[in-house]
């Protein structure tokens, strides 16, 4: 989707304190070989705040930075990848109540379940919603997750090369702002859906600990629906199609991009699955930031972009490509052009 008349007007994140990864190695929770390959320095760990509480804090700050009153928001989308703290309950409604209140009575509050591509997927939905009606002023996208024991082992719950951090992020999309949203798009390959389902039967109620490694092993062994063709080839094609399509819609070539924000995976995975196949130097990414937070679900792209803008590494005239991937599988990308240095970075 080409969306040259829409802007990012506010960005923010809410991150808990970071925990040094070496402590997890010493405790036997994080494999030392993985530690060396991943090169994470720390991960953010929420001790008390639930994901919707962090999302509300990030949303309020993003609106403040945008100068947008709650009454100016026409849509609120909340993305998440895992448990939000309460079953059978819409987290988006909580964020809406905390951030917009009665002033947002005409703004729908919807949850987006696109896993770790959710924030960018929600950005695409929000852009479409605003483009459909010029009277709609702004949209607020939030995302938050907390990967806590005993349900999720942040160190070994997923495949090697990914350690999970906690936190939230938010973006305000509107008619004016500091960064033009040039294009956003999504590519899906639901033939890979079984990779994160594995051989697990459908349960009548939640409560089982997440073990993605076991699910992927079952998928690889053929104990879950598996498509023809190499998984590696299909995932490489997915990211290439999403990146290429988004740049085409923006009217840009790959060489026109100055900065890249990928998921906060470990360094070896970042290099071999993202940077090298696309011909990107790691120094042009937000890796130096991501290695301090871990993989924060769908928040990686927004926290990374916020960091680049706050530090001036993404300056007026720079174009930034945001790349997200979510189990299911979905690849969502967005490309923005920084048009001004916002006052809140001073």
Encode pLDDT of 31-89 as tens digits.
Answer: 999 999 999 999 999 999 999 999 999 999 999 999 999 999 999 999 999 999 999 99
The fraction of the chain above a pLDDT of 90, given in percent, is: 82
* pLDDT in the model for residue 234: 85
Query: With bands split at pLDDT 50, 70 and 90, how would you rate the model's confidence at 216?
Result: confident
**Mean pLDDT of the region 219-237:** 74
Calculate the average pLDDT of the chain. 94
> Residue 113, exposed/middle/buried by CB under 10 A (0-12, 13-18, 19+)?
exposed
123 compared with 193, residue with greater pLDDT: 123
The model's pTM is 0.94
**Mean pLDDT of the region 149-173:** 95
**Going from the N-terminus, what domains does the chain have, and what CATH number goes with each?**
2-179 (3.40.47.10), 183-338 (3.40.47.10)
CB 110 within 8 A of CB 92: yes
Q: What residue has token string 């174009």?
A: 319
25 in helix, strand or coil?
helix
* pLDDT in the model for residue 200: 85
Q: At what angle do helices 300-311 and 118-131 cross, to 10 degrees?
A: 80
Residue 224 has pLDDT above 70, yes or no: no
Encode pLDDT of 7-35 as tens digits.
Answer: 999 999 999 999 999 999 999 999 999 99
* pLDDT in the model for residue 225: 64
Give the list of residues 6+ apart from residue 298 with CB closer than 8 angstroms, or none: 79, 80, 81, 114, 115, 116, 117, 118, 119, 120, 143, 145, 324, 326
**Mean pLDDT of the region 280-303:** 97
Closest CA to 329 of 217, 252, 216, 221: 216
**Mean pLDDT of the region 208-215:** 85
Q: What angle do CA 71, 74, 77 make, to 5 degrees?
A: 115
Task: Give the span between the Cα atoms of 94 and 220, in whole angstroms.
Answer: 39
Q: What angle do CA 332, 335, 338 make, to 5 degrees?
A: 145
CB 296 within 8 A of CB 44: yes
239 compared with 264, residue with greater pLDDT: 264
CB 92 within 8 A of CB 111: yes
Encode pLDDT of 243-273 as tens digits.
Answer: 999 999 999 999 999 999 999 999 999 999 9
Closest CA to 92 of 148, 204, 170, 154: 170
The fraction of the chain above a pLDDT of 70, given in percent, is: 98
Query: With bands split at pLDDT 50, 70 and 90, how would you rate the model's confidence at 228?
Result: low
Task: Give the span between the Cα atoms of 296 and 10, in whole angstroms.
Answer: 20
Task: Give the span between the Cα atoms of 160 and 139, in whole angstroms.
Answer: 36
Residue 205 has pLDDT above 90, yes or no: no
Q: What is the DSSP track for 37-84?
A: HH---EEE--SS--HHHHHHHHHHHHHHHHT--GGGEEEEEEE-SS--
Closest CA to 266 of 224, 227, 294, 235: 294
Q: What are phi and psi of 163, to 5 degrees?
A: -120, 135
Structure tokens at 18: 């970071």
Structure tokens at 175: 């008619």
Bridge-based pairing of strands 73-79 and 138-145 is parallel
Query: With bands split at pLDDT 50, 70 and 90, how would you rate the model's confidence at 339?
Result: very high
CB 167 within 8 A of CB 298: no
Q: How many other β-carbons are positioned within 10 Å of the β-carbon of residue 175?
A: 14
* pLDDT in the model for residue 235: 85
Number of residues assigned to the chain = 346
Residue 223 has pLDDT above 90, yes or no: no
- Distance of CA 56 to CAs 9, 47, 48, 124, 181, Å? 17, 17, 15, 21, 23
290 in helix, strand or coil?
helix
């Amino acid at each position: 989707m080409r969306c040259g008349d829409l802007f990012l007007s506010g960005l923010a994140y809410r991150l808990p304190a970071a925990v040094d990864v070496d402590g997890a190695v010493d405790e036997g929770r994080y494999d030392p070989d993985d530690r060396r390959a991943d090169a994470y320095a720390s991960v953010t760990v929420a001790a008390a705040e639930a994901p919707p509480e962090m999302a509300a804090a990030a949303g309020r700050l993003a609106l403040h930075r945008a100068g947008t009153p709650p009454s100016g928001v026409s849509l609120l989308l909340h993305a998440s990848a895992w448990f939000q703290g309460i079953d059978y309950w819409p987290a988006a409604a909580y964020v809406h109540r905390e951030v917009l209140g009665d002033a947002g009575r005409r703004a729908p509050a919807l949850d987006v379940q696109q896993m770790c591509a959710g924030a960018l997927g929600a950005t695409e939905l929000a852009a479409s919603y605003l483009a459909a009606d010029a009277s709609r002023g702004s949209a607020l996208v939030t995302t938050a997750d907390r990967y806590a024991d005993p349900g999720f082992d942040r160190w070994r719950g997923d495949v090697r090369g990914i350690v999970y951090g906690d936190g939230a992020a938010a973006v305000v999309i509107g008619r004016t702002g500091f960064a033009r949203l040039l294009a956003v798009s999504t590519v899906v390959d639901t033939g890979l859906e079984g990779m994160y389902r594995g051989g697990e039967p459908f349960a009548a109620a939640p409560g089982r600990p997440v073990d993605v490694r076991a699910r992927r092993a079952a998928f690889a062994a053929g104990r879950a629906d598996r498509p023809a063709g190499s998984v590696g080839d299909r995932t490489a094609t997915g990211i290439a199609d999403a990146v290429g399509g988004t740049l085409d819609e923006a009217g840009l070539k790959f060489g026109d991009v100055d900065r890249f924000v990928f998921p906060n995976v470990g360094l070896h995975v970042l290099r071999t699955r993202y940077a090298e196949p696309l011909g990107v130097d790691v120094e042009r990414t937000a890796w130096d930031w991501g290695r301090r937070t871990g993989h924060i679900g769908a928040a990686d792209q927004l926290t990374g972009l916020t960091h680049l803008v706050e530090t001036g590494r993404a300056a007026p005239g720079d174009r930034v490509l945001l790349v997200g991937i979510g189990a299911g599988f979905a690849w969502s990308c967005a490309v923005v052009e920084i048009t001004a240095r916002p006052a809140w970075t001073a």
